[in-house]
Amino acid sequence: MLEQIRSGQVRGLAVTTAKRSQLAPELPSVAEGGVSGFDVTGWFAFFVPGRTLPAIVDKIHIDTVTTLRDPAVKANFDNIGMVAVGSTPEELAALLTAEMEKWRPVIKQAHIALD
């Protein structure tokens, strides 16, 4: 939505991340607006089968991080308001664990199930 906010098509009220975004520092976080602890961050990741050779996982990680550091790629992400991280497989595993813990009560209370 960053492009639409900057063009004046929509009015940005807040970002849903824990802190202000470096890409839109003029927008407060939802937490700053009074919802303590609010942090809903979108993310994307590459997944491979569990038996994938470590050398292949390492190659995918290195190539991904290299690509995300490319100035043209970074500029494209910046233009749409996305911050590319390029975390390690271990950091992704920790993120997945934290996300499951955060959303488990919501899923349970809303009776969400896979078909």
**Tokens of residue 81, six digits:** 């308001």
Q: Report the distance separating Cα 68 and Cα 85, nearest Å.
A: 8
Q: What is the mean pLDDT of residues 5-34?
A: 92
Confidence of residue 78 (pLDDT cuts 50, 70, 90): confident
**What amino acid is encoded at 62 in this protein?**
I
Residues 6+ apart with CB under 8 A from 102: none
Residue 51 confidence (pLDDT): 96
**Tokens of residue 46, six digits:** 């590459």
**Tokens of residue 52, six digits:** 């994938």
Residue 13 confidence (pLDDT): 94
**What amino acid is encoded at 108 in this protein?**
K
Confidence of residue 28 (pLDDT cuts 50, 70, 90): very high
Confidence of residue 80 (pLDDT cuts 50, 70, 90): confident
**pLDDT reading at 106 higher than 90:** yes
**pTM recorded for the entire structure:** 0.75
pLDDT digits (tens, 9 = 90+) for 37-73: 899 988 999 999 999 999 999 999 999 999 999 999 9
